[in-house]
Amino acid sequence: MIKALFRKIAPLVILVFLILASCATLKEDAHLNKTYNELVKEKGEPSYTLLQDIDKNYDRSKYEPNFFLYFTDAELEASVTVRYAVWKKTGSTLTAWFREMDDEWIVFSCEEHTGVFVK
């Protein structure tokens, strides 16, 4: 009886899962060149923020993005400080990386996940 019921509802469960999964989106670099204060004004205070020193020996498996794309060898040789911030809201997560330029923190890379399965 349970097997028969499962066989009847399994296709429906799979269909619902596929529909919900197709609603998820990823937007990369939608906030490039915005300041930290602009994002706070737009999104509110971040759920998490961290200042991190990055140098040429950083653990690439631990951090995103690839900082060699955004900083020169000389900058990484001397070590650069990046600001990492995460905004978690119901149905979306925005992760942004900032570099300090002219006394402002500017987004140099970000990604925003939206959809049903975003925690």
Q: Do residues 106 and 9 touch, judged by C-beta distance below 8 A? A: no
- Cα–Cα distance, 46 to 70 (Å, whole number): 23
What pLDDT is stored for residue 14 in this prediction?
55
**Per-residue tens of pLDDT for the chain, all 119 residues:** 666 655 666 565 554 454 444 456 777 888 999 999 999 999 999 999 999 998 888 876 666 788 888 888 899 899 999 999 999 988 889 999 999 999 999 999 999 988 755 44
Structure tokens at 16: 């619902």
**How many C-beta neighbours within 10 Å does residue 115 have?**
15
- The pLDDT value given to residue 36: 97
pLDDT at 119: 47
67: which DSSP letter? Answer: G
